[in-house]
Chains A and B, each alone.
Chain A
Amino acid sequence: MESVKISIADNFSKAPGPRFIIQGPFSGELFRNTILEPTFKQHQDSDTLIIVDLDRTLGYSTSFLEEVFGGLARLYGTEEVAKKVSVTSEEEPYLIEDVTGYIRDANTPKHENR
């Protein structure tokens, strides 16, 4: 299967910021709008997998990652994003499971108890 790789450190910022654009520079919203979503749309109808490399940055807030991946799932559907987008991290492998959870939970109805 073909894949296209996005490195947050190389393609966006070594110091990712907050959730929303209004909150500060290099936000999750900005990354999704300018890099991830265009790439997703470009390959939406193909078998190409999008792999996002989370390594070599200073680190992430939970809200940055949730806005990127959960936000994408809220736009295009959980199932669609889950099968198309994956993340890699050797430095923080627990982030892979976190992101999987953000995508899975992105469209859970309000007030649903877990």
Chain B
Amino acid sequence: MMKRIRLERQRMQGKSRVEQRIIRSENDKFRGYQYIFAPKSLCLISNPEATIDFINQIDSAFNQRKAVLIKLEAVSVIDYAAIVVLLSVMFRFKSQNIAFNGTMPIDNETKEKLVGSSFFKSMYTPFKKDQAYQIRGENILLCGNTVAQELGGDLIHAAARTIWGVPKKSPGMQRILLELMQNTFEHAHDSGIENEFWWMTVNHDRTHKKVSFGFVDYGQGIFQSLASEKSQDHKWYNVIGKIQAKFGEQNSAELLQKLLNGDVHRTVTGQHFRGKGIPGIKEVMDRNQVSSLMLISNDAFADVQKEHYKKLKSSFNGTFVYWELCYSNEAHVWNL
């Protein structure tokens, strides 16, 4: 009896009265699950701190192999970035056979957006190893575990129809996709991880003639990767130490800005001809081949178009990149 009371108190610790009432009224089948409450604005781009906190709680439960119940009732606004990050995290639970479940948002528009994004379909459709990537629904959620160079053709062809009404190609966007997929592969390879997935969301806005893209590589992030142990011939060997020697103490937002501008690879990489991928992504935006480029990696947030770099209070365990293709961006005749 005393043990039950003590466990109940532990379960309620830190929870508001409303949350405590919800937990108590929950069905017994979720007894033993860790309840994790989503913020009202589950938006990685406009509300990164709270969204990352929420994701980190789920991640922490994963690391402890705890079953989780994701509480989305209070969510009144959600962006596709958060949806795809949530999906990438939940997929890890599934791959490790750790129990999880969730509740739906009460807000109808939010609920429809979540269902319409194919979140649930994506969650429960197995990934076939012989496929470079899978398209899992309308707004589209994709995943893959290799550098799927032909993916860009499909995405850009469809995006061009939304934006310009005719097929076009976008070498700039193809560059971004290749760099990001390659980074996922490299960091997985460096960490000895066999099946590391990247995830993408694609959202067609036919009214404003633009298509937005979000890419998630969940698991480490740029700065965790840079700080990790490496062999002396690795391109990023002791790069944090070299940066500090060259530029002085840098926070991650300042460092991200330098990475994007190519200042880091020019001065500190052991293999000076490597590490051009991240600056290459910024060049794509500089050439007006894409718009609204944003990055979140660990505790660094970058709105590259607005040249706004911020150190976040919470650290995201991965890298998220967002960009848009719109009418004013440069694209070429489809001549493939």
Contacts and interface: CB of A to CB of B under 8 A. Distances in A.
Interface of A: 9, 13-19, 22-26, 56-64, 66, 70, 91-92, 94, 102, 105-106, 108, 110-114
7 contacts: A17-B147, A18-B181, A18-B182, A23-B147, A64-B178, A66-B273, A110-B271
Nearest to A74: B273
A57 B256 CA distance: 30
Interface of B: 132, 146-150, 152-153, 156, 169-175, 178-179, 181-182, 185-186, 189, 246, 266-268, 270-274, 276-277, 279-280, 287, 332, 335-336
Contacts of A24: 132, 146-149, 181-182, 185
Contacts of A58: 149-150, 152-153, 156, 169, 171, 174, 336
Contacts of A92: 171
Given A15-B150, A113-B246, 8 more contacts: A17-B178, A18-B181, A24-B181, A58-B174, A60-B174, A61-B182, A105-B272, A105-B273
Given A15-B152, A16-B149, A24-B148, A61 B178 contact: yes
Contact of B280 (A16, A61, A70): A61
Contacts of B274: 63, 66
A17 B153 CA distance: 12
Contacts of A25: 149
A8 to B, nearest CB: 12
Contact of A110 (B182, B272, B277): B272
Nearest to A114: B266
A101 to B, nearest CB: 10
Contact of B272 (A17, A23, A112): A112
A64 B240 CA distance: 26
B149 A18 contact: yes
Contact of B332 (A16, A62, A91): A91
Contacts of B169: 58-59
Q: Report the 6 A-B pairs with minimum CB-CB distance, sorted nearest first.
A: A59-B174, A59-B171, A24-B147, A61-B178, A17-B149, A62-B280
Nearest to A24: B147
B267 A14 contact: no
A60 B171 contact: yes
B234 to A, nearest CB: 12
B169 to A, nearest CB: 6
Contact of B175 (A13, A60, A106): A60
**Most A C-beta atoms less than 10 A away, residue of B150, B173, B266, B268:** B150
Contacts of B172: 59
B289 to A, nearest CB: 9
A40 B132 CA distance: 33
Given A18-B185, A56-B335, A61-B277, A110 B147 contact: no
A57 B185 CA distance: 23
A14 B157 CA distance: 14
B149 A15 contact: yes
B182 A19 contact: yes
Nearest to A113: B267
A63 B277 contact: yes
Contacts of A108: 272-273
A26 B153 CA distance: 15
